[in-house]
Structure 1
Amino acid sequence: MTLVAPLRAFGRDDLAEAGGKAANLGELVRNGFPVPGGFVVTTAAFELAVAEHGGRDGLARASLPEELRAAVAAAYAELGGGPVAVRSSATAEDLPGAAFAGQQDTYLNVVGEEALADAVRRCWASLGNERAVAYRRRLRVADDDVSIAVVVQSMVEAETAGVMFTADPVSGDRSRTVIDASAGLGEAVVSGLVTPDHYVLDAAGRVVSRTPGRREVVVRSAAGGGVVHESGPATAGAGSTARDGGTALPDAALRELARLGAEVAAHFGRPQDIEWAYAGGRVWLLQARPMTALPPPPLGRLGPLRRRLGAVLSEYVPVRPYPIDASTWLPYGPAGLMAQVMATFGIRDAFEGFLVEEDGVVHAMVPPRPRPTAGLLAAPYRIATRVRRYDPARWTDDPRFRQVTAGTRELAGRDLRAMSWPELVRMPRRALDVVRPVAGLRADYLPGAGVALLRLRLALGLLGAAPMFGELIAGARTRTGDANRALEELAQEARRTGALDTAPPPGAPGVDALPAAFAARLRAFLAEYGHRETVSPLLVTPPTWADAPEAVLGTIRMLAAGHHAEADPGAAGALDRLLAHPRLRRSRARRARMTRRVEAARAGVAFREDSHFFFTMPLPVLRRSLLELGRRLRDAAVLDEPEDVFHLRLEELEAIGDLATAGRERLGRLRAVALARAAEREQLTGVRLIDPAALFPPRPAEGALVSGTPASGGRATGPVKVIRDPARFADLSRGDVLVCPYTNPSWTPLFQRAAAVVVDTGGSASHAAIVAREYGIPAVMGTGGGTSILTDGRVVTVDGDTGHVFAASEDAHHGRAAGERAP
């Protein structure tokens, strides 16, 4: 059992013995980086002390075991016996996704054996301080899963010190090095006591910007041990002289730091957060750890096609996918199937490879680069063949459709709880296999749908009736429309009977508490439509309507609070108005041909909507099977909650084989993987998958609060209501301006009440834009940040023709009926 060993004895793989900080420093020493000499009091020493004193409590006051005291004294003497820095090095520290920055203690300028022993004890004790315990709980790291080592290094009496990031922590630019520096020891910078000098360097080590700091405090070593804080010159900055005689960091030192930082980042394979010191003309590295919560790299200028694809994908993936998403529904669901369809016609890489993963966690979204292949030359022939052979109006007669629906019914009827582990772990693949025929269905029938829509648009153009296109296709009967009508019927019943008057508020499990008759109708609705997604059709982890009936209840409450929505007369009478056109009125044959074209176009729209509706039907089966796997892993103490299974990949679950015979070591590794990914995901909470500005370039207009892509014409004024997720649907009042991060079919009922819609993502062809045009309300898409700029209750005017949102007065709002368009 090694109690004390030199830093060079450890490397990055020795986390269990040396903790994160010491393991990384040892790796640097081994590879020739300038690190002050030192040694490590290992986790074995900590466990020895815990055993000798009967627990972790009270270690700060206990004496070191004699064997350990002797070993520490010998290592200290070999180091020279002078001032040292004593730093905690926990086993859950300085890791990707779990920096634990500042959570355990550090002691500088420690002098003498007794002071060193006391610092070691206090570092041990800091494992249980309030901030460290709270941090571990946030990252769901169990106290018993963490041990601690202590690293002791020769003290560097820094003239200047600070922190270096080998990537820009704000923009994510990996070609930039960012350095914060101040006079004295780096504690002033690390702890935020000082406004440091701020430098940004490019990849060649050139300083591209420097901002002088104020040096409010200088921290330096005190005679006899410890540190002192002295007031610094408030006006000192880059190029000036500090009170202690030190000067701002020389450009040569900056270049050396940037060079070392780049080499450290390359060695560890990821951007690094490095503490450093500069003394006697030399740079020292004091600590290196992976940067956490780092935004994805800037995408630079994207072409129109990549921007359009990125806008679509950002709307469909509004939240960070889990590893289980990336290994199940993402590659095999709508995105994967569309990738197969595109490949059929000679286009590859249009809907694949757009997520960047690190350590098994999705870090960023990068718009794909579609690549034509030789098959593109044959695409016109294939499209023409399919148009002749496959009529979208009869797609439900296709045996493949029956195969999908029958397979889904069979899987939905299986009792997951009664299955053995080997049988249960096969269920996700079976659910994914059920939807495989849909790729062929879409490849065969979409050409007919597209050609039908094109023919109608051209025919209307020849008649000078192109503006009627949206009204005409809005008359298509779709399963989404059926669901919306069923919701309206439930809302009417709730209005008539008061069924929701005493029900629990949105967010509470309320179906069982509803009146029996209404609950029965709601359950029937969920049985038919409950597989619809609440957040994204590309992800399996968010709940479906059936999983989250409170979201459906919120929609019903919202609809019940208003008046009954009348059918849109424009859509209903559009065909009759078209057939009354002078050039059609004179010819029965022309009217019949135009009617067929409208019906064919509507059939195409219905196929697009309904094929999605039916092929997402296995989604609840897939989700429930994954959660049942998670429940069993929780019962086996592998996971803390069933939902933690989302942090694992499907192949990792399948590799277990049989849970009953899986070894403790294998299950332990699986638990460690889930915990590490959960911690890294938690660190990324505030980091966006993609910078909206790259997809939606600013379209400034004088006086505009928010600007985006014009998607549905007209102007409307009303108070803002920010709705971030389906659980808040009931908050929308008639005449509100709906401001949301994304939409999908489950948001459609809100358009019946909103005066206008403003969306962070999407473009003129996105779901929200299409529905807004059908409902005749203004829409602005792709604002990038409307939900963070516009606030509830603020009265605004939405201009759907120009894509701008302006402030409006209360008088302007009350001067017209809620939801009425401005002139």
Structure 2
Amino acid sequence: MPVLRLEKVNARMGEVVGGKAANLGELLAAGFRVPPGFVITTDAYEDVCRVTDLLDGLPNSAPEIRERIRTTALPPELITAITAGHEELGAGPVAVRSSATAEDLPHASFAGQQDTYLNVVGPEALLDAVRRCWASLWTDRAVAYREANGVEHSAVRLAVVVQRMVDARTAGVLFTANPVTGDRSESVIDANTGLGESVVSGSVTPDHFVVSGNRVTARLGDKPTSIRSAAAGGVETVAQDSEVASIDDEQARELAELGRDVARHFGAPQDVEWAIGADGVWLTQSRPITTLFPLPAEAEAGLRMYVSINVAQGVYRPLTPMGVATLGLLASGVLRELGLPAPGVRPEPFRSAGGWVFLDITRTARNRIGRAVVPRLMAAGEARTGRVYESLLADPRFALEPGVPWRLWRALGRFLARNRIPLLLAGVLRDPARARDEAFRRVEELRSDLAAPEPATARERLETARHALLRATAPRMAWVAPRMMPILLLGRLLPKLTRATESEIHVVLSGIPHNVTTEMDLELWSIAQHIGPDVDDLAARYRDRSLPAEVLCGLDEFLQRHGHRTAAEIDVGVPRWSEDPDHVLGLVENYARTGGAGHDAAQRFRECADEAEVMASEIVSRLPNRVHARIAAFLLDRVRGLAGLRELPKYCAILGIASTRRHLRRIGDELSSSRRISDPADVFFLDFDELSDVIDGNDHRDLIAARRETHKRELRRKHLPRLLLSDGTEPETQLAVEETGDGLRGTSASAGTVTGVARVIRDPVDAHLNPGEILVAPSTDPGWTPLFLTASGLVMEMGGPNSHGATVAREYGIPAVVGVTDATTRITDGQTITIHGSTGTVEL
């Protein structure tokens, strides 16, 4: 049937009636007031427009497609069906709305991308409006939007909704959650008198209402005009008094309550269009709010506070479900090795939503110890997160719990005693060389354990994958981590202990030895310098083994030693360099070119180490007290000798994760060949218990498909909150963006000033950075650090002085400013900027 009555439409018919019509049919079936109407289906669109022929026959020209559709004659039987549907509605004025099959998707609403025609009068005008709706599928804005959201043009079809026109006195948009702060407990209403077109189109600043519980906060907009139905058809703009509110507080509460009912029906926050006519409120559209950040499922009552692990680890993308499970299992294993309570497969505060991982830190905000310690830890690791956290401490919902937290003190005492932290500190400081040797010996032990013979069956491989995390990796991490904690603490205290400035300590901490990540980068640089002037097609020449023998041997050894690494490496679902070496080979190609042009990263690193030694001597020499000078010299020497080991706990973790991935891939191959899963990589969209079920013969393909869709949607997300509340609020939205008079402000991470061309990079894969360019990134993890060898400076949206990117920047001696809000959008690629590492500012 080319025409369907709206009340016969439901959510399962989206491919026939489009997203808008499907949602309207759902609302009608649920008893909500929706203007009666009918739908001209996508079958009619295909019959009339022959979309495939148009796409094949035209040179990708949207204007030509639109013109052909607007001038196409409609089949007589379709004209009859549309006219009959119109007469059933009383043959009066109607609203004609586009309803695309790619509309109201979980990741993209397509709001306003296709056209709507209001107060259409008469059958001829109706037929013309239908054609114009079809043609609007090919406007420049609609084509660009589909391309931006990865939607195939040929896969999209258009239905048209025709509804009885509501002669609205007032209309607008209702969000059942606050789209700016994310707060699910607030409803936000934008309204104006007349038709809702003035609100939706943005032609006026509407009245704005925020409804929280029974409280209504109103802000009248600048709305000098209103759009109303014209007597002869179409609409007209009329003048009005901006000072008169379009709705009162009681109407705002009623709309908010209606919106909550709609959201409950669809099971997700909604963006609702509404109109108030002489006979009450009508709903004219409802779609999901696609921009809200997903929330963890929460078992505990009350408002909770979550801090992002993704931000802390510099991973600006969602993890796969198996990646979340692996990280949780490994964290539990480490905590148990340290004698801390961690029952189950993930730590109790561990939360995840859509592949984003968080820690519940609510209890830290409610006791004095947490309030004293957490901001300092955050200031070192991710500075702006600390400021956001502190802004919440005045919230009465996170009020201090009465009394002294003796239980926490006792737990801390047990932890220090069990792990002999004071003795560890003394031993490490007394003989740093021995501590280093022992730490690296543990790493080699882990490599040996993980290289055990391959198990034979999928069941055995699954148990071996768990063993790699809990029995091999966790004990080594638990051994190394406590020995690093005192050194990191001393590093933070050096300015006070030595009476040096932060900038001077940044210099002292450059050129640090014994860091597995910087040594990896320099090893790759050294290999590149043996390639010679011919660097074209390096990846192809490596695969066909036509590179010089010295280079081939070096690359083989590099991938054997470091092939477990990659960008976003904490996710077991992400391929390693050893599986896909093209990224590494691209870096080598870039290194070879820049080295041939005179840039020497290895020499620069040695110079940084020399400058650090000179600075340490200067700091010691100006101390008037001989005892103080000797203590300062001792501490500076020990921190320089041991700070490089800070990468080892994570290095161990990535070795274990890579080994787990190897076993999971083999399981995926076996299950795929026996048709129990569709693709070998499906194993990364299950957790360990679910994968065990599949090995036992259970079918989880529907679950896998749903999780793949979620992962695909979240990969498109461009914003990641540092802190998140369980009601959906992103507290950072309530903090002002920090700016200087002519630029941006962040946190000092590595001293120095540099001016250069900004290179904005959001993914290190296939990225290139020429010598002298300044790297501008959301965040970084070890997979990014090879880019640092050619960068002249670093600007990051995330991070603090002790975050990974900041530490590596200091070690390479490049100025760095971190925690710069929205740096990748506010700094333009190719723009010349100046960064002042000492003051934490960026001049634009």
TM-score (normalizing by structure 2): 0.69
Aligned position for 2:753 = 716
User: Is the contact made by 1:716 and 1:798 (CA closer than 8 Å) also made in structure 2?
Assistant: yes
Counterpart CA distance in 1 for 2:215 and 2:147 is: 40
User: Is the contact made by 1:555 and 1:729 (CA closer than 8 Å) also made in structure 2?
Assistant: no
Which string of whole-angstrom CA distances, capped at 9 and with x for unpartnered residues, describes residues 506-556 of structure 1? xx7674487333344223322222222234545643764735221344345
Aligned position for 1:617 = 655
Q: 1:327 to 1:752 in 2, by over 3 A?
A: closer
1:498 to 519, 533, 554: 533
> 5 Å matches for 1:279-428?
279-280=277-278, 282-294=280-292, 310=307, 313-324=310-321, 326-332=323-329, 344=340, 357=353, 361-362=354-355, 368-369=361-362, 375-384=411-420, 392-393=435-436, 395=438, 402=445, 405-408=448-451, 410=453, 423=458
C-alpha displacement of 1:119: 7.2
* 2:523 equivalent to 1:523: no
1:541 to 574, 589, 593: 574
Q: 1:292 to 1:63 in 2, by over 3 A?
A: same
Amino acid at match of 1:158: A
Counterpart CA distance in 1 for 2:34 and 2:479 is: 64
C-alpha displacement of 1:209: 1.8
1:202 to 186, 208, 211: 211
Counterpart CA distance in 2 for 1:125 and 1:625 is: 52
1:731 to 769, 779, 787: 769
Amino acid at match of 2:288: P
Counterpart CA distance in 1 for 2:813 and 2:626 is: 28
1:213 to 219, 223, 236: 223
Which string of whole-angstrom CA distances, capped at 9 and with x for unpartnered residues, describes residues 536-591 of structure 1? 545643764735221344345445541333352256799999999999999xxx99
Counterpart CA distance in 1 for 2:44 and 2:308 is: 57
1:434 to 465, 468, 473: 468
Amino acid at match of 2:317: R
User: Is the contact made by 1:345 and 1:376 (CA closer than 8 Å) also made in structure 2?
Assistant: no
Which string of whole-angstrom CA distances, capped at 9 and with x for unpartnered residues, describes residues 1-44 of structure 1? 9984562x666566577653344334433444332234567x6x
User: Is the contact made by 2:419 and 2:482 (CA closer than 8 Å) also made in structure 1?
Assistant: yes
Counterpart CA distance in 1 for 2:567 and 2:808 is: 17
Counterpart CA distance in 2 for 1:250 and 1:701 is: 38
C-alpha displacement of 1:285: 1.1
Counterpart CA distance in 2 for 1:249 and 1:201 is: 13
C-alpha displacement of 1:729: 6.6
Q: 1:600 to 1:690 in 2, by over 3 A?
A: closer
Larger RCO: 1 or 2 (CA < 8 Å, sep 6+): 2
Q: 1:284 to 1:651 in 2, by over 3 A?
A: farther
C-alpha displacement of 1:206: 1.9
Counterpart CA distance in 2 for 1:52 and 1:737 is: 54
> 5 Å matches for 1:109-120?
109=119
C-alpha displacement of 1:379: 1.3
Q: How many residues align?
A: 747
Structure 1 SS opposite 2:419: helix
Which string of whole-angstrom CA distances, capped at 9 and with x for unpartnered residues, describes residues 157-178 of structure 1? 2233332223343443445444
* 2:802 equivalent to 1:761: no
Structure 1 range deviating more: 105-114 or 703-712: 105-114
Counterpart CA distance in 2 for 1:742 and 1:19 is: 39
Counterpart CA distance in 1 for 2:491 and 2:243 is: 71
Amino acid at match of 1:731: L
C-alpha displacement of 1:634: 11
> 5 Å matches for 1:119-138?
none
Aligned position for 1:794 = 832
Counterpart CA distance in 1 for 2:92 and 2:263 is: 31
Counterpart CA distance in 2 for 1:121 and 1:85 is: 14
Counterpart CA distance in 1 for 2:708 and 2:821 is: 32
Aligned position for 1:37 = 36
Which segments of 5 or more consecutive residues in structure 2 lack a partner in the other structure? 55-68, 296-303, 365-406, 429-433, 724-729
Counterpart CA distance in 2 for 1:604 and 1:719 is: 33
Counterpart CA distance in 1 for 2:363 and 2:572 is: 22
C-alpha displacement of 1:483: 1.7
C-alpha displacement of 1:180: 3.6
Aligned position for 2:565 = 532
Q: Alignment RMSD, CA only?
A: 5.8
Aligned position for 1:303 = none
> 5 Å matches for 1:441-460?
441-451=476-486
User: Is the contact made by 2:18 and 2:158 (CA closer than 8 Å) also made in structure 1?
Assistant: yes
Aligned position for 2:719 = 687
Counterpart CA distance in 1 for 2:167 and 2:218 is: 29
User: Is the contact made by 2:5 and 2:39 (CA closer than 8 Å) also made in structure 1?
Assistant: yes
User: Is the contact made by 1:712 and 1:777 (CA closer than 8 Å) also made in structure 2?
Assistant: yes
User: Is the contact made by 1:475 and 1:572 (CA closer than 8 Å) also made in structure 2?
Assistant: no
Aligned position for 1:301 = none
TM-score (normalizing by structure 1): 0.71
C-alpha displacement of 1:278: 2.2
Amino acid at match of 1:228: G
Counterpart CA distance in 2 for 1:547 and 1:251 is: 60
Which string of whole-angstrom CA distances, capped at 9 and with x for unpartnered residues, describes residues 642-665 of structure 1? 98x699445798489489x999xx
Aligned position for 1:238 = 242
User: Is the contact made by 1:344 and 1:443 (CA closer than 8 Å) also made in structure 2?
Assistant: no
User: Is the contact made by 1:20 and 1:93 (CA closer than 8 Å) also made in structure 2?
Assistant: yes
Aligned position for 2:271 = 273
Structure 2 SS opposite 1:265: helix
User: Is the contact made by 2:24 and 2:34 (CA closer than 8 Å) also made in structure 1?
Assistant: yes
Counterpart CA distance in 2 for 1:622 and 1:346 is: 21
C-alpha displacement of 1:47: 5.8
Structure 1 range deviating more: 605-614 or 114-123: 114-123
User: Is the contact made by 1:52 and 1:65 (CA closer than 8 Å) also made in structure 2?
Assistant: no
Aligned position for 1:155 = 165
Counterpart CA distance in 1 for 2:641 and 2:759 is: 35
Structure 2 SS opposite 1:25: helix
C-alpha displacement of 1:627: 7.7
C-alpha displacement of 1:286: 0.9
Q: 1:158 to 1:94 in 2, by over 3 A?
A: same
Q: 1:4 to 1:720 in 2, by over 3 A?
A: closer
Counterpart CA distance in 1 for 2:412 and 2:342 is: 4
Q: 1:624 to 1:54 in 2, by over 3 A?
A: farther
C-alpha displacement of 1:314: 1.2
Structure 1 range deviating more: 111-120 or 539-548: 111-120
User: Is the contact made by 2:469 and 2:657 (CA closer than 8 Å) also made in structure 1?
Assistant: no
Counterpart CA distance in 2 for 1:330 and 1:237 is: 59
* 2:521 equivalent to 1:484: yes
1:164 to 159, 166, 174: 174
Aligned position for 2:196 = 186
C-alpha displacement of 1:287: 1.0
Amino acid at match of 2:259: G
Counterpart CA distance in 2 for 1:637 and 1:195 is: 57
